[in-house]
Chains A and B, each alone.
Chain A
Amino acid sequence: MKVHIVDYLIIAIYFVFVLAVGFALRKRVRTSDDFFLSGRSIPSWITGLAFMAANLGALEVMGMVANGAKYGMFTNHFYWVGAIPAMLFVGIFMMPFYYGSRVRSVPEYLKLRFNEATRGVNAISFAILTVLMSGINIYAMALVFKLMLNWSMDMSIILSAGVVLVYIFFGGLTSSIYNEVLQFFLIVLGLLPLAILGLMNAGGFSGLAARLPEGFLHTWSTLDKASHNPMGIEWVGMVMGLGFVLSFGYWCTDFLVIQRALAARDMTAARNTPLIAAVPKMLFPFLVTLPGLLAIALIPKALGGNYNLALPLMLERYYPSGLLGVGLTALLASFMSGMAGNVTAFNTVWTYDIYQSYIRPRGTDQHYLWMGKMATIVGVLISVATAYIVMRFSNLMDYMQLLFSFFNAPLFATFLLGMFWKRATPWGAFSGLVSGTLAAVGHYLITIAGILQYPSDMAGNFYRAIYAWSICFGVTIVVSFFTKPRKQKELVGLVYSLTPRVREEGVSWYKRPLFLAIVIGVLTIILNIIFW
């Protein structure tokens, strides 16, 4: 790929800007609350876009373009089934408990609702998950930069990780959120010309349709039987595995995204955070699936079955110097927002849920602020180390869903019961969570041993998630009937039936969460029908 000085200039300006934002915010970070929760003071449109961007890692962008080339419009299920319903649910039903109980992290909610042991299990498994995920992001990005700019792997890793480290170290969560909003706009406006130029070249939508394999423009009509679609899954696995367990497990319990909503300035802003994020999420297929489809229609030879390269190859084909710099910056931005999301979630869970809870409970606020900064450095260093481990895995997208099926799927059952069933007991939750996670590990082991077989790794991931969730759900209920629940008065504000409804007087009707959720829900259904 020919990269000119103007492209390097654009990339350099971007680096300077993200560092400057972190540096400009350093004076605003005085307490640990400023560092970890942005002092709970940010308007909802900012937290909403950050909520969206934290999920927009390099892997998300590159991986979804690759899926678009491989599976066609089928990929849109990851958005319209695998994200929107869960995002609406977390905003309407779950945010009142997260934000209303003033917890600082997801594991802390588990401590208040259940007990210390449940929190401990979740805090440790979440800390492991975040550094693994952040390592994937680093690796994916280094791969792209080696490919496109011919930078060495080590140099790409050190440069990108170093920049993320500096802006979080100085500005904490605020800096991360502000950069995520900036990154969001860069990703959207930087990648949009690809879809436009590609569609023009293909001769519009009908021209594209004529060049695609059978069934590539459909989402639901091939889901009746596993053998009818390339992912090898039928609608039960899709709706229950992806749409219910994996999706709700990620959007409703993953602190990486919830943390953005906790930084909102009031309850309505917190509830609107995932809803505002759902709007771009709903439209993202046009930015990622479409270039994937265009790649398979327009440059099938260059692609040669190597779907992971669909995005870089399309950029190379359609972007002249200048715009190419912007496109590369957009990729860089997606990597950094994904990594920063993991690092800020890691430093918070480490400091509040592990260090403050088990290692040094009575430190000063300044001490925890210092620990948060140290955790940022250590988190980045571990992520770099995991990046080198991840290099050994061939398919990163499958690896990511594999991790989610281990950690997030059972956790969602714990939350569902915790928030909506007041009889769920502390030890019920603990044993459910542990056995759900072990069930996922066991299922994975018998799958790799060849005893259980699935048409694709993704189908295996979906079913593993369903089993892990069901076992956690079942064990929690059974153990709850034999153990002692917490007193009802301790659960006010934590359980649905014991908490007064959120009142939203004085909020204009069009800013009310329920109204936004209904509009987004209807639009998503329409999109599903159009691309049936």
Chain B
Amino acid sequence: MSTGKKGEQHGRFLDVRIPIGLIFTLFGGIMVIYGLWGGKEIYHKSLNININFWWGLLFLLFGGVMLILSRRGAS
């Protein structure tokens, strides 16, 4: 993915990985915080798994990877 053409294109276009990275980091953050400090009784729905915390963590990881990739692509 690091051909000369790609460099040109970075000058012209917003890197799509930035908005994806940002939105998943933000969603992940909200879910983790809500999972940690929100009420716990809602998790009987999700088989007593704190799905907000765990899935939020996964979102954070995914968002982070996207942001790191976009930094690497830009440099």
Instruction: List residues of chain A with CB under 8 Å of any chain B CB.
Output: 6, 9-10, 13-14, 17, 20-21, 24-25, 28, 39, 41-43, 46, 174, 178, 181-182, 185-186, 189, 193, 197, 200-201, 265-266, 317-323, 326
> Which chain A residues border B26 with CB–CB below 8 Å?
13
Say which residue of A42, A317, A323 sits within 8 Å of B51 (CB atoms): A323
Chain B's closest residue to A50 (CB) is: B16
A17 x B30 contact (CB < 8 A) = no
Establish whether residues A323 and B52, one from each chain, have CB atoms under 8 Å apart when the complex forms.
yes
Q: A42-B13, A193-B55, A320-B42 provided; 11 other pairs, C-beta below 8 A?
A: A17-B23, A39-B12, A182-B19, A182-B23, A186-B23, A265-B5, A318-B45, A318-B46, A320-B52, A322-B38, A323-B46
A323–B62 Cα distance when bound, in Å, is 16
Question: From A186, which residue of chain B is reached at the shortest CB distance?
Answer: B23
Q: What sequence of 0s and 1s flags, for each residue 24-64 of chain B, a beta carbon within 8 Å of any chain A beta carbon?
A: 10110011001100100011011101011001101100100
B22 to A: closest C-beta gap in Å: 7
CB distance from A38 to the nearest CB of B (A): 8
> Contacts A13-B23, A323-B52 hold; do A197 and B46 have CB atoms under 8 A apart?
yes
Min C-beta distance of B7 to chain A, whole Å: 12
Give Cα A181 to B62, complex, Å.
14
For the complex, give the distance between the alpha carbons of A9 and B30 in Å.
Answer: 9
**A-side contacts of B31, CB under 8 Å:** 322-323, 326
Contacts of B16 in A (CB 8 A): 46, 178, 181-182
CB nearest neighbor in A for B1: A43
- Complex CA gap A413/B2 in Å reads 40
A sample of 10 inter-chain contacts (CB < 8 A) reads: A6-B34, A17-B23, A39-B12, A42-B9, A43-B1, A178-B14, A182-B23, A320-B52, A321-B42, A322-B42
The interface residues of chain A lying within 8 Å CB-to-CB of B12 are 28, 39, 41
- Is the CB–CB distance between A319 and B20 below 8 Å? no
B-side contacts of A185, CB under 8 Å: 20, 24, 62
Contacts of A28 in B (CB 8 A): 12-14
- Chain B residue, CB-CB nearest to A266: B5
Residues of B within 8 A of A24 (CB): 14
Is there a chain A Cβ closer than 8 Å to B71's Cβ?
Answer: no
Docked complex Cα distance between A322 and B1 (Å): 35
- CA separation between A174 and B15, bound complex, in Å? 11
Q: Which residue of A lies closest to B35 (CB)?
A: A322
* B interface: dominant SS: helix
Q: How far is the CA of A9 from the CA of B14 in the complex (A)?
A: 25
With the chains together, A247 CA to B1 CA distance in Å?
Answer: 32
Q: Which 5 A-B pairs have the closest CB atoms?
A: A320-B42, A322-B52, A322-B34, A178-B16, A320-B45
Nearest Cβ on chain A to B27's Cβ, whole angstroms: 6
Question: Could you tell me if A317 and B45 are in contact, using CB atoms closer than 8 angstroms?
Answer: yes
> For residue A17, which residues in chain B have a CB less than 8 angstroms away from its CB?
19, 22-23
| A322 touching B45 in the complex, CB below 8 Å, given contacts A178-B19, A182-B20 | no
Q: Once the chains are docked, how many angstroms separate the CA of A6 from the CA of B37?
A: 12
The docked-state distance in angstroms from the alpha carbon of A317 to that of B46 is 8
Task: Check if B9 sits within 8 Å of A189, measured CB to CB.
Answer: no
Shortest CB-to-CB span from A398 to chain B, Å, is 33
Q: How far is the CB of A169 from chain B (nearest CB, A)?
A: 17
Q: How far is the CB of A186 from chain B (nearest CB, A)?
A: 8
Instruction: Note all chain A residues with C-beta closer than 8 A to B14.
Output: 21, 24-25, 28, 178
The residue in chain A whose Cβ has the minimal distance to the Cβ of B32 is: A322
Please give the distance in Å from A53's CB to the nearest CB on chain B.
Answer: 12
Given contacts A320-B42, A323-B55, contact A201 B27 (CB under 8 A): no
Inter-chain contacts of A323 with B (CB < 8 A):
31, 46, 51-52, 55
How many whole Å from B49's CB to the nearest CB in chain A?
Answer: 8
A14 touches B43 (CB 8 A): no
CB-nearest residue of chain B relative to A506?
Answer: B3
* Residue numbers in B under 8 Å from A6 (CB-CB): 30, 34, 38
A13 to B30, CA, bound (A): 11
By a CB distance below 8 angstroms, the chain A residues around B5 are 265-266
Taking CB atoms, residues of chain B closer than 8 Å to A193 are: 46, 51, 55
Which interface residue of A42, A182, A265, A322 has the most chain B CB atoms within 10 A?
A322
Identity of the chain A residue whose Cβ is nearest the Cβ of B39 in the assembled complex: A321
Q: Are B38 and A321 in contact (CB under 8 A)?
A: yes
A379 → chain B closest CB, angstroms: 24
Do residues B9 and A41 form an inter-chain contact, with CB atoms below 8 A?
A: yes
B19 touches A320 (CB 8 A): no
Is the CB–CB distance between A10 and B46 below 8 Å?
A: no
Pick the residue among A13, A21, A25 that contacts B27 (CB under 8 A). A13
CA separation between A179 and B43, bound complex, in Å?
Answer: 31
In contact, B42 and A200 (Cβ under 8 angstroms): no
Q: Which residue of A lies closest to B59 (CB)?
A: A189
